[in-house]
């Protein structure tokens, strides 16, 4: 895909991985609409990026906003949808486990109501996570949701063709989702990545480059691209 002059809609596009993707797309000459529940919290937004407010779990709002943004060539969702349950499954609050799947339902809404406005050779990208295929202790909910996202993508690839849909799967990434600062933050990431082949946290920009790859490469669909520092092999 030649990016210059194209239009992209990025859910979760005002922080972390989504914001990095929005910036990289804008730098490539794409008109970008970055969407989140609270755009006022957006970081440094470059020229070419317009901010919009929407909750991915509100089907009516998602439908209306996507129709307003139409037509477009690129549709990305990095929106988490809400909280995530962490810890041993046999001790887990089941309402928390169920709520973890808000990420999947948010993605489903974006694709269900967004694909119809996508250009004939357009690209959809979702974000899962390394626990989908290599679950570590306490990550049952992350693994379950990520696995569902990847299965949804493979199942949709044939239905959506010639439009493409892919997943980018990050490992441990240094993003604003972690509220700690200073030494506490450094120590946490050091512990979390100690067994990785690349023993550090990744950056949102590194994951966004994976998103850019599957957007631009017209010969890739229904697949998962890992940007995980060797998580799957550790």
Each residue of 134-146: pLDDT tens digit? 999 999 999 999 9
Chain segment 157-205, per-residue pLDDT in tens: 999 999 999 999 999 998 876 777 788 787 888 888 888 999 999 999 9
List residues bridging with 49 in a β-sheet: 32
Task: Report, as an integer, the average pLDDT of 68-77.
Answer: 98
Residue 1 lies in a domain: no
Range of the domain at 146: 7-233
Record the tokens describing residue 5, joined without a space.
Answer: 């002059």
Q: Could you tell me if residue 144 is inside a domain?
A: yes
Instruction: Judge whether 201 lies within some domain.
Output: yes
Burial class (CB in 10 A: 0-12, 13-18, 19+), 229: buried
Give the single-character DSSP code of 45: P
Q: What is the mean pLDDT of the chain?
A: 94
User: What is the pTM for the complete model shown?
Assistant: 0.94
pLDDT of residue 45: 84
CA distance linking residue 140 with residue 137, whole number of Å: 8
Whole-Å CA distances, 157 to 19, 168, 194: 25, 15, 35
**CATH number, position 203:** 3.40.50.720
What's the pLDDT band for 82 if we cut at 50, 70, 90? confident
Stretch 207-214: mean pLDDT? 98
Residue that wins the pLDDT comparison between 193 and 25? 25
Residue 116 lies in a domain: yes
Q: Characterize the bridge pairing of strands 31-36 and 49-53.
A: parallel
Domain count, the chain: 1
pLDDT of residue 135: 95
DSSP SS3 for 170: strand
């Amino acid at each position: 895909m030649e990016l210059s002059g194209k239009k992209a809609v990025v859910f979760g596009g005002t922080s972390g991985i989504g914001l990095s993707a929005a910036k990289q797309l804008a730098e490539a000459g794409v008109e970008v609409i970055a969407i989140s529940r609270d755009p006022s919290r957006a970081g440094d937004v470059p020229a070419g990026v317009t901010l919009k407010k929407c909750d991915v779990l509100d089907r009516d709002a998602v439908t209306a906003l996507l129709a307003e943004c139409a037509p477009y060539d690129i549709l990305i969702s990095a929106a988490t949808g809400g909280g995530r349950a962490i810890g041993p499954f046999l001790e887990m609050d089941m309402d928390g486990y169920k709520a973890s799947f808000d990420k999947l339902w948010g993605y489903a809404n974006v694709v269900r109501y967004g694909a119809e406005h996508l250009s004939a050779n357009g690209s959809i990208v979702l974000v899962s996570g390394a626990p989908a295929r290599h679950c570590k202790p306490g990550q049952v909910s992350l693994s379950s949701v990520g696995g569902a996202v990847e299965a949804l993508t493979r199942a949709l690839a044939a239905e959506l063709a010639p439009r493409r849909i892919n997943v980018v799967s990050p490992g441990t990434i240094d993003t604003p989702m972690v509220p700690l600062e200073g030494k506490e933050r450094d120590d946490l990431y050091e512990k979390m990545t100690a067994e990785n082949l690349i023993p550090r946290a990744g950056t949102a920009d590194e994951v966004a480059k994976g998103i850019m790859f599957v957007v631009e490469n017209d010969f890739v669909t229904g697949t998962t691209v890992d940007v995980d520092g060797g998580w799957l092999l550790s």
